[in-house]
Amino acid sequence: MRLIVGLGNPGKKYQYTRHNIGFRILDAFVADNVEIDVKWKNNFFSQTLQYKYKDQKIIFAKPQTYMNLSGRAVKQIIDYYDITEEQILVVYDDIHLSLGNLRVRKRGSSGGHRGIESIIQSLGTEEFPRLRIGIKNDSLLQKMDYPSFVLSNFSAQEERDLPELVSNAVQALEDILRYGFDYAMSEYNRTEKNSSGENTS
């Protein structure tokens, strides 16, 4: 069994914020791949959904604890189902990556992300895979501090660009499940481009 966690904050107030991109991508993946009559349940401090995808039993989870306590929900799920850290995949926003860029990692530090910090603290390890979703906007970050930025809504132009980003992220999830992390890392961990389409590394 695998656990795929999308990070975000519960409630309509945060629905379209940058911090909730993990929720949006998980919802899009489920909409594309899961039968329409399968319903989310409220348990383990989360909204959860169990489904068999490509012969793999998967639990999808959206923690409802608010971002800073995401680890509480993840720990309850993995303890109950006896899931190992390597069988977890966390999808979340990354303020250090420009909008539209993705990164697949098998492990790593939190990079200052409060949700990932909470999961690391609850599990006692950094050894769990993740899919990082770029949300950075350099011009806005010149005017806003990090907490205000991640809790802000995407701009109108960014919302027009988001369907492509979400589609790419859903494809990355599908590739991870079909072909594994090494393949996905080679496909998606490419040179980052900024909002102007120029290479930044």
3-state SS, the chain, equals: CEEEEECCCCCHHHCCEHHHHHHHHHHHHHHHHCCCCCCCEEECCEEEEEEEECCEEEEEEEECCCHHHHHHHHHHHHHHHCCCHHHEEEEEEEEEEECCCEEEECCCCCCCCHHHHHHHHHHCCCCCCEEEEEEECHHHHCCCCHHHHHCCECCHHHHHHHHHHHHHHHHHHHHHHHHCHHHHHHHHCCCCECCCCCECC
- Would you call 113 a catalytic residue per the annotation? no
Q: For residue 182, what are the contacts with CB-CB under 8 A and spacing of at least 6?
A: none
CB 59 within 8 A of CB 50: yes
* From 2, 19, 113, 132, the catalytic residue: 19
Instruction: Round to whole Å and give the CA distance between 44 and 61.
Output: 9
Q: What amino acid positions are annotated as catalytic residues? A: 19
